[in-house]
Amino acid sequence: MEINLDGLIIGASTFLVIGLFHPIVIKAEYYFGTRCWLAFALAGIAACAMSLFVESTIGSTALGVVSFSCFWSILEIFEQRKRVLKGWFPMNPKRADDYIRPDDYIRPDDKK
């Protein structure tokens, strides 16, 4: 009987990729705001395309996990902005104007 470690390796790599993407999303939103969603989309498409051409099952699966983690990060980058607005995460003071919500905006004509 031969031991097959593929499942454990894929599981561990999935765990690590998801664990790495959490702080990446937080830092990306802090430094770049939601406009970095396109970078996550392009990275996801690239990883997805690469996974189609890798012959190794483990390598192809790992690239697929990276790909869909990038796609999920697009949603999470916008959710992270909401968390910042709620005060759950720090706001980048250099981009404070990016965090003005439409209902917080006061037009110059409205000032009294």
Residue carrying structure tokens 């990276």: 66
pLDDT per residue over 98-111, tens digit each? 877 655 555 555 55
Residue 112 has pLDDT above 60, yes or no: no
pLDDT (average), residues 89-105: 77
Burial of 101 (0-12, 13-18, 19+ CB in 10 A): exposed
So what's the pLDDT on residue 109? 56
pLDDT per residue over 32-86, tens digit each? 999 999 999 999 999 999 999 999 999 999 999 999 999 999 999 999 999 998 8
pLDDT per residue over 6-40, tens digit each? 999 999 999 999 999 999 999 999 999 999 999 99
Residue carrying structure tokens 């099952």: 57
So what's the pLDDT on residue 96? 81
> Read out DSSP for the chain?
-----HHHHHHHHHHHHHHHHHHHHHHHHHHHGGGGHHHHHHHHHHHHHHHHH---HHHHHHHHHHHHHHHHHHHHHHHHHHHHHHTSS---GGGGGGG--GGG---GGG--
Higher pLDDT, 2 or 39: 39
Cβ-based neighbours of 81, under 8 Å, separated by 6 or more: 29, 33, 34, 99
